[in-house]
Amino acid sequence: MSNMSVEQVAELVLGIARSQLAVIDSIENFKAGYKATHVRPILESASRIRSNHPETLADFPARVLLQMLGRNPPDRERLARELEQLVTTRPAGSDQGGVPDPDSLDMTGSGS
């Protein structure tokens, strides 16, 4: 498999968000108010949009789906720029001279 470009990954994430939105819309058609009372609060929590943590790749898909719920869905070019920024930004704590980041899920022990 060849390497995917950032634009291709952004397009893939956008397509997945569209399919998730279709499922959410079908539930909304069955039960009015489902998006506002159930989906939006859970997505805000999953995207960590209200926390003081920096944005991460793990939060990116939830943030995209949350944007899809709004009136102006994101376009591929903007998502590609955001994704490029997330990929090129060094994670917090990565320059601590071998001291592992306490929030890291890396269990290989390579930070010591």
Can you give the residue ranges of every domain in the chain? Answer: 14-88
Q: For the chain, how are helix, strand and coil distributed in percent, rounded to 5? A: 55, 0, 45
Yes or no: say if 76 and 64 are a contact pair by the CB < 8 Å rule: no
pLDDT, tens only, 69-89: 888 888 888 888 888 888 887
Give the chain's mean pLDDT: 78
Residue 52 pLDDT level (bands cut at 50, 70, 90):
low
Smallest CA-to-CA distance from 61 within 9, 8, 17, 11 is with 17
Q: What is the mean pLDDT of residues 39-68?
A: 79
pLDDT, tens only, 1-34: 578 888 888 888 899 999 999 998 999 888 888 8
Residue 110 pLDDT level (bands cut at 50, 70, 90):
low
Q: Give the pLDDT score at 19.
A: 93
How far is Cα 8 from Cα 11, in angstroms, rounded to an integer? 5
Smallest CA-to-CA distance from 35 within 26, 24, 44, 45 is with 24
Q: Give the pLDDT score at 112.
A: 47
What is the pTM for the complete model shown?
Answer: 0.67
In percent, the amount of the chain with pLDDT more than 70 equals 76
